[in-house]
A and B are shown apart, each in its own frame.
Chain A
């Protein structure tokens, strides 16, 4: 399952992603790739949404891979030491 995110993932837009996360978890998807090549800006709310997807999928025995983070989003993942978790 490929989830492409673009633009801004922040306190305004992250709530729009939550139904998709719920659906992926309910479907018990075990291989999810979150592609961030098109993402320009992320904030703590956006990070929280991706972490929620990661944790809930892992609790189902699945795995989430995050790819393509660059510039500001990559910097935030590094600051929060999540670059190692997501192998960025």
Chain B
């Protein structure tokens, strides 16, 4: 489902919180990233939002946003619903001129992301990297426990928010 409010385009997608559906969410997010890029470079363009191209993550903006959403989707499917695929996840993609805002909501178990420790990268960890990746890839990321639990992710096209927020190594 999609609609438009003022200059903001919105895409909403609900799918089972099952890893088999993650690719659908990833592709919607990648397309939303392309729309943000188009609004940045081609105001007033009549380009179609429909693309038949394969998943292309050569663009840094799309690569970072897709990386973050992938980890959040994993977290909801594996931990929130304990891998049972018993609930839904809803993505709301708000396409603005200077940023992409993503709300990801679910009805699974809540958790406290502030309690997730930073991974010991020098020890070559085999787990506990997902939230770190999501945080480092977005300019803003916060979480409100529910139900529904809601993740809010923001990525600016200028990278301004990243510089303001923290000094994590950019991709």
Interfacial residues, chain A to chain B (CB-CB below 8 A): 8, 10-12, 40-41, 43-45, 47-48, 51-52, 54-55, 70-72, 75-76, 78-82, 85
Whether B66 contacts A41 by the Cβ 8 Å rule is yes
Beyond A41-B55, A44-B74, A45-B74, whether A75 also contacts B63 by CB under 8 A is: yes
Beyond A45-B74, A80-B121, whether A12 also contacts B22 by CB under 8 A is: yes
Give the CA-CA distance A75 to B132 in the complex, in Å.
14
4 tightest A-B contacts by CB?
A72-B57, A44-B129, A72-B63, A75-B171
Beyond A10-B70, A76-B67, whether A41 also contacts B57 by CB under 8 A is: yes
**CB-CB contacts below 8 Å: B101-143 with A:** 119, 121-122, 124-127, 129-130, 132-133, 136-137
Whether A10 contacts B129 by the Cβ 8 Å rule is no
**Please, what's the 1-or-0 string for B72-91, where 1 marks a CB less than 8 Å from any CB in chain A?**
00100110000000000000
Q: Interface of chain B, helix or strand or loop or mixed?
A: helix
Whether A72 contacts B67 by the Cβ 8 Å rule is yes
Give the CA-CA distance A65 to B126 in the complex, in Å.
17
In the complex, B71 has a CB within 8 A of chain A: yes
Size of interface on B: residues with Cβ below 8 Å to A: 34
Beyond A10-B22, A11-B19, A78-B171, whether A71 also contacts B57 by CB under 8 A is: yes
Instruction: Please give the distance in Å from B65's CB to the nearest CB on chain A.
Output: 10
Beyond A12-B19, A44-B130, whether A55 also contacts B67 by CB under 8 A is: no
Give the CA-CA distance A85 to B125 in the complex, in Å.
12
Whether B136 contacts A79 by the Cβ 8 Å rule is yes
CB contact between A48 and one of B55, B77, B126, B171 (< 8 Å): that residue = B126
Specify which chain B residues have a CB less than 8 angstroms from the CB of A41 in the assembled complex.
26, 55, 57, 66, 70
In the complex, B20 has a CB within 8 A of chain A: yes
In the complex, B43 has a CB within 8 A of chain A: no
Whether B127 contacts A48 by the Cβ 8 Å rule is yes
